[in-house]
Amino acid sequence: MTAKHQWATDIALVHRLQFASPVNYLCYATWGACYATAAPGHLLTTPALGATAANVLLILASLVLNTTVDIHTDDQDRGKRDIVAAARRLGHHRCLCLAATEMVLGLTLAVLVAASTHRWLAAASAGLIIVLHALYNLEPVRLKRRGLAGPAAIGLSFGFLPCLVSYGAVQPTVDTSLWPIFAGLGLLVAGRMVWWSIPDREADWATGIGTPAVRYGTNRTVTTAYAVIVAGLGALGWGLSWRYGPAWAVMGMLACGAFLIGHVTVLRHASDHDLPRSRPTRKRAMAMVTIGNVLLGTIPVLAG
């Protein structure tokens, strides 16, 4: 592998651009704009594209920051050692500078969008996203080690708030029927984050990171993850039914519920001493999550 190719590979790894992850990041970045209009052409306006780019940059910045601060924890997980190796080749300082640069660029784009549209929802939401990313990853707060507070922060910063960033670039006010949809999307992201703490339990426990699986044990974490995901499906279904009708609500709930249904068998036998392996589990889960995320973004166009 040439040095240039190695560098590109390392950049992709520290941004967690694996499996279908880039598609999911784009879904998080565009959901709000998709629900702001039924006309696909409106998604290609300068403000909408600027808000989408801002969201993508903020998501990627958070992933680089998390990779950098979690390097010792991830080193305990065989499925993440390629990411750890990439972060070490790039260097701690360079990774932090990359994360900071992406955050600044993302916030700048959001402010420019807000200034051009005279609607400040996008900029305010982007600022809150950065605050949550910092609180999740950095001491002394570091919400990642504070049980359910970590998934709640991720649900807000990857699901709920990016919807407001891209929506605010297209429409001046959020329609009432969209609040349960956006809240449901945030809960689904948070619930999956609770669930994904289970395969990571051993590495987190070894380095003293109090994720839900470490704090509450596997069985309680499974139950909590399901409860949060079901709450998200309920909020999503309520909003979709209100805005587009019950048929679209059922379709959206089934698409996102596939994640829940598909892992019942895997988690039914899971315990603190018999955890699902991280890498294979993420690959299986990612396919179902991606299909659901893409379908959710297409519902406004199809229903319109």
Task: Pick the more confident residue, 187 or 276.
Answer: 187
> Is the CA virtual torsion 136, 137, 138, 143 positive or negative?
positive
Tens digits of residue pLDDT in 212-225 = 999 999 889 988 99
Quick check: 266 pLDDT over 70?
no
Averaged confidence pLDDT in the chain: 91
Quick check: 15 pLDDT over 80?
yes
Q: What was the pLDDT predicted at 1?
A: 66
Q: How far is it, in rounded angstroms, from Cα 279 to Cα 84? A: 14
Q: What was the pLDDT predicted at 194?
A: 93
Amino acid at 298: T
Quick check: 134 pLDDT over 80?
yes
Provide, rounded to the nearest whole percent, the portion of the chain with pLDDT above 70: 92
Which of the four pLDDT bands, split at 50, 70 and 90, describes residue 4?
A: confident
Number of Cβ within 10 Å of residue 290's Cβ equals: 17
The conformation of residue 176, written as its DSSP 8-state character, comes to T
Name, in order, each residue with C-beta under 8 angstroms of 128's C-beta and a sequence gap of 6 or more.
Answer: 156, 157, 161
